Structure 1
């Protein structure tokens, strides 16, 4: 850089450093000091307005208190009417705020006036004043309307003193109006302002001037609402400050609303006097800053010239050091930084020469390490040219360094044997030139032609700018490792084939975390899983945690490699529960405890065992029922003999009793009333016939039940040519099952259609069907409040005689409905069910050419309908 240019730059920078403080002073004065002084002026005016407002509120409150004191007196009484003038004069004379005090009649005329002594007029003036009317005065009307104290805005004095302010207070049917002494209020303005050079103006709520320091306003009062500052103040409840013009003079002022009467106080001050301190301060600061600016410019020019000369000497010294001079001459000066820079330059040159020597030593050491390394190493340019190779790599292929240097790396002896590897190398070099390292497994042929497996990598070397300048090629001989890896892979493949092709489900999991690692196809098929779901699956989601914990505890307690569970609960992916047997084998893989679980689904086996046991129980129950039928037949015969004896004896006793009662009737007529067996004769006369009738009906019922049981227990003759009455079948079933009906329900109802056509077939077999259906309905009821309805009807369209048994029981699912007519299928094996009732009933109905239909829903009961072809139409 030329000396004069550096000097010019230094001079400009020094000038800027001098100008910036000057501009900063101007900025602070204009943008910070002036707003701060403006805020101080506004704050002072607000405080002055607030002080005057407080004084005015106190002044006006005193006037209101004086007027209220007079209004509280019973002025309408005659005793006060005579002294009314004296009362008013005394109150005005004693008040510090009132100038006049009127009592106004309801029609608006002034009745009496209280005036200060120094304002008293002649008696004629008093009479003229008392004849004046305030009926049109707004203050009078507002006081009468509101019925409470009211302040006026401005008030034209009836005393002829111009514009004033007044307060009205009602007193019975009179109104007291007190005018405030504005002269005293104006004097208080001057006392508050003092010598501050500010003015106070009092404005009413309509913007009219009430008073100022020069005195009360004239009549009519001037309007100040057209001044923008006053207009903004009238519209706001907060103090408003700003500049305005009044009578051609620029003022700065603050408008503030008083708290008592709601008038506004304007505190104003000429702009010049308000901002005099700002003007003086700005003038003095500007003069000082300008003088400092000139001095700074002169000093910066002198210093720039001196510093540039010394820097030119330093540049000449640096050129000699860069040229290689070991100790070039240097004349010491007074600038410590320049002297330090010169010493640093000399030290840097010495350090560079020292580092060059160290670098040469490092290169020799690196070459020695590289040549003695066991790995194959080489250095390439970005275009793939080999520029260096270590001894290990050269010894592998038996080549001399001079024969391979400067040759494209893919044309060297390490890569010539395989064209595909050469193309892969060229692609890796292109990738490395983009700064991306590459690594792959390759092969090299040694000088004897044997294959060596090599772990090859290519790493980029960058310069300071980030550009790739070299590529380091490095190969590690992994021939032994590759051979071992190949053998291990073959072993793993054999194990995996055994694992995959095993017919039993096999699952491999972590012993500690229960995480599933792998499962063979048989296990995936058993549990309905997909292979991609295994990484997020835990074994306790498939096998019950309690059963899984048992085999883990067994392996932990005995330190055995195997554990066995004969029965465990397991769950498929859809939630279906199955029973399995589980054999766990503990193995170690990659320093981790694993558990190989061999699973066998034994659900079908257990179900078959349960079905075999259930079938045996049903056969036993069937045998019991056969024996019971034989027993019933023999018992029915034994019951018949004593029942016939009861029937015959009852007939004889009935005749004897009838004759005895006739004789006893004659005895009562002869001897009067008497008792028999603890009962009165009239009761015996009515009761004994009923007892004999009950014995006879009971005997007949026993005979009917025994006859029905004998008919039911008889072996079927399979005579399908007879006629069947469905109503009689239902009546027979009701008689045989009477005890069961009473035990299961209180709501058994029969709805039988009369004159039903008969059905061709076996009455005994149809009776058996009906008994089975009614018995099943009774056994399904949850309590005795649930009912059973049996009904018969004729279907003229289908030409069938129908029978239905409908219960309010538990109902059945679709799965149970589909198996109802299977032999030996029952849901009540533990309650004596054989599973043959509905199977036999279905067979009997089919033999009669009919159908057996079921309708049921869980919790809504069951309805069974039997449809049999009619033997003849109901009208025949």
Structure 2
């Protein structure tokens, strides 16, 4: 007979079990956090970061597309022509000032030297800075070489700004044999980062193809740019074609982030946040459960020690009685006690012996019937103990892995051939067996490898078998082969995912709606951005509130009448949520989705395209007018040359006639003294003697005046001299303008005056160009006069305070409004287009004055005339 079980061992077992039961909930929660909650939180963090990266990518693409459009607008001009080369600085300044994205705009010659640069007004540099920049060479810059080699627009990686403004990015566009390069204003791009991130604790970093930081929320002047390509997450993303998420370290901080590629430019966007803030909920839950488990552990240990002390003695007596009953001594009396459960157990032991024999017979019959059923089943079946030990398996399951029954019986189910190929599935099975032992069934999809190595998808279930008392005595494991169904389901899921990705990542706005009711089902981010919508507004939105119903009906009618899958409208009217009208092109495609016919509308905003086409047509008309004026200048030069030849003949002949007349008058004097009074063409000799020299002098003066006018016309039609080292006489410019325009002055006014200052300081520059400016101003003043009683005054003087020599042209004409004054120096802007005006006179005059370092000021009021003042700095 065995010796009695020691009491202290029972107490220890009871204490350990109580402690284990208290720890189980804590371990279960930790398991759920690690294997269920943590992956979901990680996926949510990555999803949120991808959405933020897409939002910034859309904003960045729009920002950079605007910059590319501005650069292309300049590159589209014939910059290689002399007329544009002379005004290149002003063109670049005007374009960069009007651009919302450019920080610097400059052109490079074929050898790489910078020809001219445009800078916003609030970043103006000195003339010396411009000269220094023009001596800079871009011949070794990758952007310059790629643009000339490829002959199309090329975006750069990070590089030092040409004006020394730290790190920058740029786009190059070819323009004939020149290259136009625009540097992007990264400060505004960083501003959009801050607007998107807000106070969410996120970080956005823009990375180029080489792994260098283009921009972030920090300092933009870092030179050279920071390199993050050595971070494993970034390195993986640069080599992949899809978003990559994970943890990494940056500047000593542990971060979790997502890197995705921009769809338009191809740069990479990194959105990150600290690991602690990302997984804060998991940490808080674990801490709370740990505190509760510690309290439960303390209570369980105390209770178990108390119960063990009380029950140990009585259970030892019951154990001895049970051994005697088991040995067949049923007549041995049981001493009564105070614990009712123990007394009941003792009585049950007596009846158990009889019951066991009867049950053994029934069990043999039941096992024979169960074996017959399970061996002929097509499903995989097995029988487990509550702790997971395999006690039986049918022929179908054994045939799958080509195993013999004796090889697998008595082995933990997770160590059998059905589960050895996947550690994660083994752990999941163990968890299911643990809960199944507590009476909770389980069902999940798993995989098995057959004896040939082929993978089978199985619908697995684990069901508990209870005895009459409700205790779990066995677990039935059953598997149904669903390989064909799983493959079809996987293919369908992949197809749906591909469609969704194409829908979401499409650069064009796309809207999915019901064909009959026009109810919007979904819209991609591009459509939400175009119309200013929020996703939560889609369920109550009808497409006919955004697109003109008449245009939408055309698409529906075309799809219905012709039984085709696609309809297209070249031009349709649409409205944003704020009521703004836009012009779009619309393509509708009829698709079937879940047995419902839907309409997939692809939209493209062509408002800007139509506006640019109108501007191009207007610019072409102005260029045609300018070409006419150029031809007119050539005609004037030719006519001046033709006039010059007969004028020389008149001058020479007049000189000869003067000598002949002098001699003839001497002879006539002698004849008059001898014959008396002579009649010469109706004049007396004395009258002829006084009048003829004056007539010859008048012919000579007229010839000289014609020669001067012709010379002035020829000089005016010549191209402007590039030499700016000459000396300018502003009084001479005023006199030349009066001489050149004397015919127009006589025809337009009787009140033309000049007030010329004396002893004016010297001004350095081109006399011919300043003559051209004064002529343009005087001509404009004459054309503005309402009648000949209105006058024009030209005045010159020295401004000692400003150290400038000034020329003013003041008229008593119609005057101008503030709106017209603001646009006077714009190229091709004119108020007299129907009278032959080109809109280039004041633009060219302003350019010439700026080249001389001066200014052109306008003062005017409607009905009170206009005064234009040219201020030229004196020579140092």
Question: TM-score, structure 2 length as denominator?
Answer: 0.36
What is the TM-score of this pair, normalised by structure 1? Answer: 0.36
Structure with greater Cα Rg? 1
